[in-house]
């Protein structure tokens, strides 16, 4: 609920009219209807014109329609983001794994779960508490019997580089002894009955509840202040927030939400603002966390959303089930959200309802590591399902999957910066990268993670093989380095350990290969650069983006480094500053460097070295390579894929260069 007001259209064929005999490339267009009321859209194909027609009908409000001409998917998304905004740049920890259930019982349970991840060498970043942690569903309170020392609990988790999240829903328990309700009621901050006088009374988790009128700027400012350390007793700056039920959910309301004739700020009926209500609440909460943390990036998850929610924080697909069909459908759901500008989204890994077996849980983790938002979650009545509870071989396979997520963190973070800057989705349908490929347009069982990785998850129980489609170009198996020439559809044999994943030729990926307990623990770790040459074997290109992972200094002080890494002529790898958006950021280009206050190596990751360079494909180099400007020769070694694989790669170990500085490696070419 909450997303009915607009979005970006899908793959188009260039509009209506009679079909021309000559072929022309397909074009992508976008349509955004800026209206938060109930909306009906009917899209039809065919008819006498042979084109596509659509019928748009809103219950109320203005007819405010935007057309984005494209013509490419990338341009369409960029144009849409100019109107509704790009994705908020998340704090780095938000891209890690989130562990959640309804509910962790008490402080001892929290400590045991946190310790369990370390005991089993499984990385994670955030531990979540659902509604049972509160005093009788009074949000921003703690159950004194089960969570008597919340500050100490949060500080203990944070001491290992991790964060916590608590749930804060929009319904406020009607209790004169509850300070939040008492103050809001006395100031007239709640949504009103249809007469505009009495406060609306709805039923939700606490029972009888009132709802803050977050359409009012004054109410949003008041609500933001409630997240201060003074007001939210027991919280710390390492505690973040989850806004659930913010459509808003009303158990005794029509369609489980508010009546359309309730009155909001400015004497506006609820029907006029329904689909934007959740976004207002989400934005007010995020503003409170940002203010509490002295202007650092907030993290607030929301269930409700509207066009523009991407400027605030992540969303998820809502309550799903431990079912193979729900695993499969999570792919088109997350892809669709990305194609409507909501790049930071995911589905509950394992399914919210029900009890997944080891196979389903493993396959869901192997898929979920590629969701932009990666969280495991479960219902109160389900069996406990922390990764180590499934036993072997499942625990080892889940560990390997989560570690891959962390290995790809530099690549993911770079994709999020692109989403912030240009509105690009992180997880992309194949047609986004291959708009001229008719086979790509119909694919919903595979996707691109950014421009460089194609993933085909295994979403069928007991599968021993999957049919994989690779678009035109050369592709490299992520695990074996085996080369494939597309376009082609072929059968890939799989065991429970396998998720077919391919690196696109012509691209460069930056990773961190050392296994750590959290994103913060990876900060000083060196990088690995993976080069996947194109069909010629002579060219590949990639970018990597670095900043402090928490502040807005990247915008306010140009405190970032955006590097372009180019493999060219088949014998050299060059790393240099990338000019984009009017700023070089922090770089060693002396003539063009932005003069910044302080040390240009002021945040730790910008000083991290490159540990390895891996060039995929058959070996074609001599015995050594030279790092220019370092006057140092380095030995090349074989870097095969999985044991027994005939495919290979060439690795440069410890070249002694810093990723955020300018350098080049010159390879000697074998005769």
- Unique residue bearing structure tokens 């009890």: 355
Q: What distance separates the 2 farthest-apart alpha carbons in the chain? A: 87
- Unique residue bearing structure tokens 């072997």: 392
Strand partners, 545: 562
Q: DSSP secondary-structure letter at 138?
A: B
- Unique residue bearing structure tokens 């009906």: 40
**Among 634, 469, 663, 435, which residue's Cα sits nearest to residue 566?**
663
Helices 409-422, 73-84: crossing angle, 10 deg rounding:
70
- Unique residue bearing structure tokens 């793959």: 11
Report how far residue 258's alpha carbon sits from residue 94's, in angstroms, rounded to the nearest whole number.
32
Whether 319 is a known active-site residue: answer: yes
Report how far residue 285's alpha carbon sits from residue 399's, in angstroms, rounded to the nearest whole number.
33
First to last CA, the chain: 63
Whether 238 is a known active-site residue: answer: no
Report how far residue 110's alpha carbon sits from residue 101's, in angstroms, rounded to the nearest whole number.
11
CA distances from 478 to 255, 284, 339, 365 (A): 46, 42, 26, 17
Residue 161: CA count within 13 A, CB half-sphere: 17
Catalytic residue among 135, 201, 319, 479: 319
The CA-based angle 167-89-595, given to 5 degrees, is 140
Catalytic residue among 169, 213, 247, 418: 247
Whether 247 is a known active-site residue: answer: yes
CA distances from 123 to 117, 298, 426, 548 (A): 7, 22, 22, 20
Report how far residue 242's alpha carbon sits from residue 314's, in angstroms, rounded to the nearest whole number.
10
Report how far residue 137's alpha carbon sits from residue 384's, in angstroms, rounded to the nearest whole number.
23
CB atoms within 10 A of CB 284: 26
Strand partners, 655: none
My answer on whether omega of the bond before 487 falls inside 30° of 0, hence cis, is: yes
The full DSSP string for 265-304 is TTTEEGGGTHHHHHHHHHHHHHHHHHHHTTTPPP-EEES-
Catalytic residue among 114, 125, 244, 611: 244
Catalytic amino acids? Answer: 244, 247, 319
């Amino acid at each position: 609920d909450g997303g009915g007001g607009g979005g970006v259209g899908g793959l188009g064929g260039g509009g209506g009219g009679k079909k021309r005999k000559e072929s022309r490339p397909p074009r992508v267009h976008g349509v955004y209807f800026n209206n938060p009321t109930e909306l009906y859209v009917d899209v039809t194909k065919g008819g006498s014109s042979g084109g596509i027609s659509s019928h748009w009908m809103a219950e109320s409000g203005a007819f405010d329609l935007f057309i984005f001409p494209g013509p490419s998917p990338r341009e369409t998304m960029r144009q849409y983001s100019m109107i509704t905004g790009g994705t908020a740049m998340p704090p780095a920890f938000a891209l890690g794994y989130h562990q959640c259930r309804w509910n962790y019982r008490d402080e001892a349970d929290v400590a045991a779960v946190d310790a369990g991840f370390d005991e089993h060498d499984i990385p994670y970043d955030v531990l979540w508490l659902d509604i049972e942690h509160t005093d009788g569903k009074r949000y921003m309170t703690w159950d004194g019997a089960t969570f008597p020392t919340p500050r100490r609990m949060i500080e203990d988790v944070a001491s290992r580089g991790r964060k916590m999240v608590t749930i804060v829903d929009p319904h406020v328990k009607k209790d004169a002894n509850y300070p939040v309700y008492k103050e809001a009621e006395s100031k007239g901050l709640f949504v009103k009955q249809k007469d505009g006088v009495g406060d609306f009374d709805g039923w939700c988790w606490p029972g009888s509840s009132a709802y803050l009128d977050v359409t009012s700027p004054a109410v949003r400012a008041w609500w933001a202040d409630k997240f201060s350390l003074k007001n939210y007793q027991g919280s710390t700056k390492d505690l973040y927030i989850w806004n659930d039920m913010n459509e808003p959910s009303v158990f005794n309301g029509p369609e489980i939400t508010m009546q359309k004739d309730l009155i909001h700020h400015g004497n506006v009926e609820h029907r006029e603002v329904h689909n934007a209500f959740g976004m207002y609440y989400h934005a007010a909460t995020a503003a409170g966390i940002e203010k509490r943390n002295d202007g650092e990036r907030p993290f607030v998850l929301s269930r409700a959303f509207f066009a523009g929610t991407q400027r605030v924080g992540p969303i998820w697909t809502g309550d799903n089930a431990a079912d193979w069909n729900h695993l499969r459908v999570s792919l088109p759901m997350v892809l669709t959200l990305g194609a409507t500008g909501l790049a930071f989204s995911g589905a509950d890994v394992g399914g919210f309802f029900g009890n997944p077996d080891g196979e389903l849980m493993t396959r869901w983790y192997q898929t979920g590591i590629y969701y932009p938002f990666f969280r495991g979650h479960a219902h109160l009545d389900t069996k406990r399902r922390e990764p180590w509870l499934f036993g072997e071989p499942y625990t080892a396979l889940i560990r390997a999957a989560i570690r891959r997520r962390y290995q790809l963190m530099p690549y993911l973070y770079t994709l999020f910066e692109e989403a912030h800057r240009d509105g690009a989705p992180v997880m992309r349908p194949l047609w986004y990268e291959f708009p001229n490929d008719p086979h790509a347009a119909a694919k919903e069982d595979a996707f691109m993670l950014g421009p460089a990785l194609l993933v085909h998850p295994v979403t069928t129980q007991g599968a021993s093989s999957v049919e994989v489609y690779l678009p035109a170009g050369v592709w490299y198996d992520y695990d074996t380095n085996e080369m494939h020439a597309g376009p082609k559809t072929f059968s890939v044999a799989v065991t429970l350990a396998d998720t077919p994943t391919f690196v696109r030729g012509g691209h460069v990926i930056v990773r961190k290969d050392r296994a750590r307990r959290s994103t913060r623990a990876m900060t000083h770790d060196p990088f690995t650069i993976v080069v996947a040459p194109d069909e010629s074997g002579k060219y590949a290109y990639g970018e990597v983006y670095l900043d402090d992972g928490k502040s807005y200094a990247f915008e306010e002080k140009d405190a970032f480094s955006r590097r372009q890494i180019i493999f060219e002529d088949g014998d050299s790898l060059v790393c240099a500053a990338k000019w984009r958006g009017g700023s070089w950021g922090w770089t060693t280009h002396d003539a063009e460097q932005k003069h910044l206050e302080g040390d240009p190596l002021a945040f730790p990751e910008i000083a991290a070295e490159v540990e390895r360079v891996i060039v995929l494909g058959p070996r074609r180099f001599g015995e050594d390579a030279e790092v220019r400007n370092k006057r140092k020769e380095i030995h090349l070694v074989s870097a095969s894929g999985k044991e027994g694989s005939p495919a290979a790669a060439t690795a440069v170990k410890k070249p002694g260069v810093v990723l955020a500085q300018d350098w080049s490696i010159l390879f000697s070419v074998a005769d």
